[in-house]
Structure 1
Amino acid sequence: MQAAIYRLTAYPTGTTPELADFPTGAHAIRVPAPEVNGQEAYWVSSDDPGYAQGLTRLRWKAPDGRWLELDNSNLAEADRQPVTQRIAAGVTAGHRSIPLPLRIDGIPSGYVLSSGTFERRTEAGNEWWRTELNYSSAPGMYFSTVITPDGDEPGRPTAGPADGRSRPSTCKAAGGVKVCVAPLQENALTAGGGPQGWLDKITLLGADPAKWTTDVLN
């Protein structure tokens, strides 16, 4: 049985998360949920029963007004909602810089960071982490930068590119860490020297978290 995975997202102050459609065209819908520590909460579900069955995504407001979101994978169906609610009740919202295993120097002025994630889990005694930074190089032009340990992901010895998607990735590795860059549009990195030009701006800091930095973007 695979280990349970939890993903916690904190939206920026003043941002109301959207109920975006799914890739198949199914619509996301809002389903009332019990309050979390006295704050407004709801489940994200779908008008498509197939999507709705697999969703356990809870959104609620923190005391400072920010929206928080928690979803999970690999939980027994009977545990999905009660465990998610229990974890949400124990979340404390705050502001903290998270050290990451890379530094990016010489970012072009037109590049905009659209989102970033950091995941860490332990499976069968092996720790695995994943960092993803999504950038826009121009309107409608996006690319992802994914950093993981340089090796097979626990439970997925035959995994493909580190970004987990089918689009082509260009990668490099050093010090036990691997970084892959993948354009979402074919020309997203053309002006910046292509994927290799972006990789050349990245310094990998190794697998020891003590050597990671909060000064990532320069």
Structure 2
Amino acid sequence: MRDQTDELTQELYELAASAAPGNGIDVARAVREGRVRLRRRRFTALGTVAAVAAATAAVSLLPTSSDRALRPAPAATQASAFPALDPDPLVAEASYGWLPADFNDVSYVLVNGRADVRVDGKVPDGGVLGPIVWLKVYPAGTTPSTGQPWYAGGPRQYRVEAPQVGGRPAYWVGTSPTTASAGGGDWYLRWQTADGRWAELHASSLQGADAQQILHRIAEGVVVARRAIPLPYRINTVPAGLRLGSVDFLEGPRMLPGEHVPWSARITFQVDGMYFTTIIEPDRPDSAKPPADANSKIIQTKPICIRAHGLKLCTYSLYGVDAYRTVGGPKAWLKHFKLLGTEQQNWTTRVLR
């Protein structure tokens, strides 16, 4: 079992992937989602976690001269295939059926070896955050529990009975025996699927008197069936010793104001405690990007990028070039990618070869 430090590091990289693809940092969203996701890991310093999450989202941070080596440089290894990795790295156990009209962008994020499915709702006029719904299916034989605290030292969770979903048992996770809401616009609805597993919808920032009815109707439309998610790239053989950190495919603009791409795909690997991230997104002229924020306190290094087939492929790491020693450097790493263009019918689920 991984120690808590390693688990927190991995969760923060997954949080970075889910909160702000590309080079932007959606700090507000990272703080909100970090609070919900990480408090269940029994970490109490939520402000510290949010700050670290924001820093981790900026995976292109340049270490200062006093930080020269965050990790010792790993020794080079011979190239080999992915013997321990599934060729299909992003496989969802379920998908949405019915969704409200203002929920359009469906994304997939690998979390602890499981691809959770996220859908984003429209940001209300004058608002900062729109509603988000996460869908996950628990592994066979795993029964989610209630009764434990929401976070260390916090109020306990309660099972609040809900109408059946598909004719099978369902319940809300609430803050009292009669309060179905998790508080703050958060809702958790769990139900047993036809194959006996448990599924869960977690809604964030879902407001209004009909929030329960909306979430219950979404649950009624969920289709539980494994499906590999096609991605716009393929990776050839890489040096042994790499461990898959996270994979995601996100739809819709989720960057700082002015940053808009229709989708973004990200894959992160870990080697010797260091992570490096590669992002694929539709190419666009540099003039289409917003100007850099002159007041930003974040020191960023320019990522290494290539362009082909209407796509832009970039890689960068919080740990600098040392993270790429095993793969021969950032430019050598990008040569392992084959870009498949912008048309989704040409994408593949067999990503790791």
Q: CA deviation at 1:96?
A: 1.7
| Aligned residue number for residue 48 of structure 1 | none
Please state if 1:64 is matched with 2:198: no
Q: Counterpart of 2:279?
A: 146
Map 1:35-114 to 2 at 5 A: 36-37=165-166, 38-39=168-169, 41-43=171-173, 53=184, 55-56=186-187, 58=189, 60-71=191-202, 75-114=206-245
- Alignment-derived partner of residue 195 in structure 1: 330
Q: Which residue of 1 aligns with 2:271?
A: 137
1:151 CA drift (Å):
3.8
Q: String of CA shifts for 1:27-79, please: whole Å, max 9, x gaps.
A: 7974535364424555499xxxxx95254455555333555444456754445
CA offsets per residue over residues 88-132 of structure 1, 9 Å max, x none?
22111111222210001113232222332223359xxx9822322
- Give the 3-state SS of the residue equivalent to 2:241 in structure 1: coil
More strand by share: 1
8 Å contact from structure 1 (residues 9, 68) kept in 2: yes
Query: How far apart in 2 are the matches of 1:28 and 1:68?
Result: 23
**Partner secondary structure for residue 87 of structure 1:** helix
Partner of 1:163: none
The one-letter amino acid paired with 2:327 is: G
Matched residue of 2:266: which SS?
A: strand
CA contact (8 A) 2:268 2:277 kept: yes
CA contact (8 A) 2:188 2:200 kept: yes
Unaligned 5+ segments in structure 1 are: 46-50, 161-165
- Is 1:204–2:339 an aligned residue pair? yes
Tell me the secondary structure at the aligned position of residue 96 of structure 1: strand
More deviation in 127-136 or 102-111?
Answer: 127-136
Taking the aligned partners of 1:217 and 1:191, their CA distance within structure 2 comes to: 17
TM-fit CA distance, 1:180? 2.9
Percent of paired sites with the same residue: 35
What CA distance in whole angstroms lies between the structure 1 residues aligned with 2:267 and 2:247? 4
